[in-house]
Structure 1
Amino acid sequence: MIKKTVTTLFMVMVFVSFGYAQDITGNWKGTVMDQFEINYTFKVEGEKLTGSSKGPDGSDSPISNGVIKGEDISFSLDIMGNPTKITGKIKGNDADKTKAKSIELFFVVNGSDMTLVLSPVK
């Protein structure tokens, strides 16, 4: 009896956590330093994040080590020949918390802190 109760409680917690995960699957874009447009294609499967980034020169870089937990996102990307760790926060739409309205990313390039705000491509 206790085993069934614990199992049921665990399953409810798992489904509730997945219910709060925000959906960022799709295409996103933003501008770095007010001049370089960056495009991302994200795919979310549970807590795994995959996809790619298209830089200002048009080259694609695959996302590696991607993780999404609630509103937190992290992944690695090759930027100018250097593996770069990127972290961020997903901002939800007030009307529907499952659809992301924007993503704010943080990373360091050549010793400089960078911030990139992404918007969904419609």
Structure 2
Amino acid sequence: MKKIILSISFIFTFVICFAAIVADLTGTWKGLIKFGDQKLELTYKLKAEGEKLTGSIVSSYGEIPLTDGKIAGSDFSYKIDIGGGPQESKGKFMGDSIQITSTFGGNSVTNTFKRVAEK
């Protein structure tokens, strides 16, 4: 009986911790990406719902919706369509920041984005 109670307690703690990680991904994240000598500020507006990720990327060029967003623990992925078909990106939630690796035309770039405090 003691083992059953201990197992249930462990599972409950794991579920609560996982839910906290998922909930923390929801929010606004800002950062700069660099393409050679050019820099572009991006804002990610993310919403986590269980293992599903939705949201958009906003820049001075407009807003692009995320599609096929998935969350697995502190890792996440999504796709965006920027004209040449869907491009997949992968990310990692690290508390006060997220790190996203995107591949375009065979080249991968990794950038870090910081959480923006909600007003």
Verify same fold: TM over 0.5.
Answer: yes
Q: Which stretches in structure 2 are left out of the alignment for 5+ residues? A: none
Q: Deviations over 1:55-111 (max 9, x none)?
A: 341x1111111111221010111235431101011112xxxxxxxx10000011122
> Which residue number in structure 2 is paired with residue 42 of structure 1?
46
Identity %: 34
Superposition CA RMSD, Å: 2.4
Structure 1 residues 115, 60: CA separation in 2 closer, same or farther (over 3 Å shift)?
same
Structure 1 residues 31, 82: CA separation in 2 closer, same or farther (over 3 Å shift)?
farther
Aligned pairs, how many? 109
Q: Which stretches in structure 1 are left out of the alignment for 5+ residues? A: 93-100
> Which residue number in structure 1 is paired with residue 77 of structure 2?
74
Q: Does the aligned pair in 2 maintain the 1:39–1:55 contact within 8 Å?
A: yes
More helix by share: 2
Query: Which residue identity lines up with residue 31 of structure 1 in the other structure?
Result: L
Could you state the TM-score of these two structures normalised by the residue count of structure 1? 0.74
Within the candidate set 52, 59, 79, 1:55 is matched to: 59
Could you state the TM-score of these two structures normalised by the residue count of structure 2? 0.76
